[in-house]
Amino acid sequence: MAETVEIDDKKYPQRLKEALKNLTGSLGPKKLYYKGNWSPEIFENCLAVVGSRHLTYYGRKATEQLVTECAAAGITIVSGFMYGGDEAAHSAAVKCGGPGRAGKTIAVMPCGIDRIHPETQKKLYQEILEKGGLIISEYPDLDQPQQWTYVQRDRIVAGLCKAVLVTEAALESGSLITASYAKKFGRKIFAIPGPITSELSKGTIKLIKEGAEPITEAKQILDFFKILPSAKKPSASNGGMSDIPPTGTLEEKIINQLRREPLKADEMARLFAVPVAQLGTSLSLMQLKGFINLEGGKYYIN
């Protein structure tokens, strides 16, 4: 059952109210609908994390790494619940397993509070609530999302937060709309540098040119929030590598090479001067052990 918070209620997020008032002269949504853990603490240190709906493997791994460390340190991750960048951010937050307030995330919906959109993320929706997070919307019941409601949602995502992290974005990406609101609200903007050959790096490169801080480690965000990292560094996935390949083996060579760049199997066979069949056996075993992952024909470090 959804609950509501009126704009004149002391519980209404003050940071959001002030941001929208300074932007438009109005106080923003007069009523917010929500499910989950509404508490002053969850709004204290919020970081918006947004990215492309067509998130690449690189974008997902970078998102998981940064969000995991930030959420484990107690930062609340705010995003828009769409597949791709939003989903990766919410998922990393609820799975980080950090102490205290760690693992909290807020999903701001572009639809009615009682509608799960997209429907394929029902499990994630439940995980957010089970882990003490929040689902928020300015729309009641089962209202359908519209093109304009996504933009309205973006202003809330940016308004709730002290800073915004853009992971991957094309030049026409909705993530840049959130970044635009963040700039108007005077928020700090972080952007992940990406390959100049990727269309999904053009938006983040544009932001960096305009003054966003290029980010390479979670410590930059934690320093901005003046928060110490979690004493126990969490894992962004299911535990990462279970062991380390023995020194001097083909597996170790593969790991070291993939730390430099993702490669195809035939490229590694030529590089290491080994038969493709032998390399294929090693790659399969390494995938089973959780060392590496195959996506788009290339192998990546997990």
Its CATH architecture, for the domain 250-301, is Orthogonal Bundle (1.10)
Q: Which of 20, 39, 70 is nearest to 230 (CA)?
A: 70
At 107-124, the pLDDT tens digits run: 999 999 999 999 999 999
Tokens 């204290």 -> residue: 44
* Distant-in-sequence contacts of 61-64, Cβ < 8 A, 24+ apart: 61/236, 61/300, 62/167, 62/192, 63/88, 63/89, 63/92, 63/167, 64/88, 64/91, 64/92, 64/236, 64/237
**Bigger pLDDT: 49 vs 287:** 49
Q: What is the pLDDT of residues 151-178, one digit of tens each?
A: 999 999 999 999 999 999 999 899 999 9
- Flag whether pLDDT at 239 surpasses 60: no
Q: Would you say residue 100 has pLDDT above 60?
A: no
Q: Which CATH architecture group holds 3-225?
A: 3-Layer(aba) Sandwich (3.40)
Give residue 289's pLDDT: 84
| Residue pair 88/78 in contact by the 8 Å Cβ criterion | no
Judged against a pLDDT cut of 60, whether residue 98 lies above it is answered with: no
Strand order in the sheet with 31-36: 3-6, 31-36, 134-137, 105-108, 76-79, 46-50, 163-166, 188-191, 213-214
Q: What pLDDT score was predicted for residue 97? A: 58
Residue 199 main-chain phi, psi, to 5 deg: -65, -30
pLDDT of residue 248: 76
- Domain positions in the chain: 3-225, 250-301
Cα angle value 52/54/60 (rounded, 5°): 75
Q: State yes or no: pLDDT of 288 exceeds 90.
A: no
pLDDT, mean over the chain: 90
